[in-house]
Amino acid sequence: MTVQQHILQQQEDLFPEARGRFSSLLSGITLATKMIQAKIRRAGLADIIGSVGATNVQGETQQKLDVYANQALLDCLGTRESVAMLVSEENAEAVVIDRSGEGKYIIVFDPLDGSSNIDVNVSVGTIFSILRRPDGAQGDAAVLQPGWKQVAAGYVVYGSSSIFVYTAGQGVFGFTLEPEIGAYVLSYPNMRMPDQGTYYSVNEANADSFPESYQRYLGELRRRRYSSRYIGSLVADFHRTLLKGGVFLYPPTATNPSGKLRLLYEANPLAFLAEQAGGLATNGRGRILDVAPASIHQRTSLVLGSRSEVELLASM
């Protein structure tokens, strides 16, 4: 089964009122990710690695592939009649596609997560989330919805193979890009995160500036003989956690007391996937999906993974 066939089936079961709009959205996303994957595959052969000498709204150095991936998603989604607004990590403000009120969906995305790893051939990814536009809502007010209101979310990890993983609220499904036919084919039906794992994933170089409770938590994981695995690409670290279990942490630090990851297009979609796969996600104080965002680029701390490991953190 291809991802397009699966999406159409999900639409018929979950969103019969969508009349093709929902499947059109996800088809636009899969098309953009195939374009991005093709560029990444040729990254060492063409002048598309390295920075462009500019920074994005986050103050981060833009890589050439950041710019390409962002434009691919804007182009592939901007012509879909069901799209009301697009929100990207790379754009300071939301891109309004439809001012008439006919567009029903808002898509927020990180076009190329972990792009600084491109130059050293480490896995990177694309993360997305789909929201319904509330009736009559305009501008940022339409976007600033808690994560539990997501209609769908997913990611693509570009690695030894390209894998598209998504949920529409009825389980998590993974599809591997078959290059010979140019289609994502179902390879991980009904993905479930193990209730307990043996790995933790965190940037331990910053551990001295973590809150004391997080330091105690990491000490407890080491005492229990957990192994450390950290790639530095959120999508890749989460994908391993989804398949193998364990926990991914990006705690608050002295320099980023509110956390560093973006709530709307990094934490929320991955938290939705984690919960749909049987795991948990928290900001250290409560459920990520319950947080009401105050701005489109709001940052947060994030802990997500297997139920056992996240519950242990909560107890500490």
State pLDDT tens for residues 176-224: 999 888 899 999 999 999 999 999 999 999 999 999 999 999 999 999 9
Position 48 pLDDT exceeds 60: no
Q: How confident is the model at residue 35 (pLDDT cuts 50, 70, 90)?
A: very high
DSSP tag of 60: P
Q: Say if residues 165 and 242 touch (Cβ distance below 8 Å).
A: yes
Burial of 295 (0-12, 13-18, 19+ CB in 10 A): exposed
Burial of 116 (0-12, 13-18, 19+ CB in 10 A): middle
Q: Are residues 212 and 153 in the same domain?
A: no
In 120-211, alpha helices (H): 140-143
Q: Are residues 91 and 226 in the same domain?
A: no
Q: What is the mean pLDDT of the chain?
A: 89
pLDDT of residue 15: 67
Position 118 pLDDT exceeds 80: no
pLDDT of residue 139: 83
Average pLDDT over residues 109-118: 87
* Higher-confidence position of 7 and 107: 107
Q: Are residues 116 and 204 in the same domain?
A: no
230-264 pLDDT per residue, tens: 999 999 999 999 999 999 999 999 889 989 999 99
Q: Say if residues 103 and 112 touch (Cβ distance below 8 Å).
A: no
Average pLDDT over residues 267-288: 97
Q: Are residues 173 and 33 in the same domain?
A: yes
Position 100 pLDDT exceeds 70: no
73-99 pLDDT per residue, tens: 999 999 888 899 999 999 989 998 876
pLDDT of residue 81: 84
pLDDT of residue 212: 95
DSSP 82-111: TEEEEEETT-SS-EE--SSS---EEEEEEE
pLDDT of residue 116: 78
Q: Helices then strands (H, E): number in the chain? A: 8, 17
Q: Are residues 118 and 21 in the same domain?
A: yes
Which residues form the domain of 246?
199-315
Position 60 pLDDT exceeds 90: no
Domains of the chain: total: 2
Q: Are residues 310 and 178 in the same domain?
A: no
Position 115 pLDDT exceeds 90: no
Average pLDDT over residues 143-151: 96
Tell me which H or E stretch contains 32: helix 21-41
Position 16 pLDDT exceeds 70: no
| Buried/exposed code over 136-150 (b: 16+ C-beta within 10 A; e: otherwise) | ebeeeebbbbbbeeb
Q: Say if residues 154 and 172 touch (Cβ distance below 8 Å).
A: no
Average pLDDT over residues 115-120: 79
Cα(150)–Cα(131) distance, integer angstroms: 5
CATH number of the domain at 272, please: 3.40.190.80
Distant-in-sequence contacts of 217-221, Cβ < 8 A, 24+ apart = 217/312, 217/313, 217/316, 218/249, 220/312, 220/316, 221/247, 221/309
Q: Are residues 132 and 264 in the same domain?
A: no
Edge-to-edge strand ranges of the sheet holding 124-132: 95-96, 83-88, 105-113, 124-132, 152-158, 162-167, 172-178, 183-188
Cα(150)–Cα(167) distance, integer angstroms: 10
Average pLDDT over residues 134-145: 86
Q: Is residue 211 part of a domain?
A: yes
Domain boundary among 150, 167, 188: 188
Non-local CB neighbours of 98 within 8 Å, separated by 6+ positions: 81, 83, 84, 85
Tell whether the torsion through CA atoms of 46, 47, 51 and 52 is positive or negative.
negative
pLDDT of residue 187: 96
Q: Are residues 114 and 169 in the same domain?
A: yes
Task: Give the CA angle between residues 115, 53, 230 to the nearest 5°.
Answer: 25
Q: How confident is the model at residue 119 (pLDDT cuts 50, 70, 90)?
A: confident
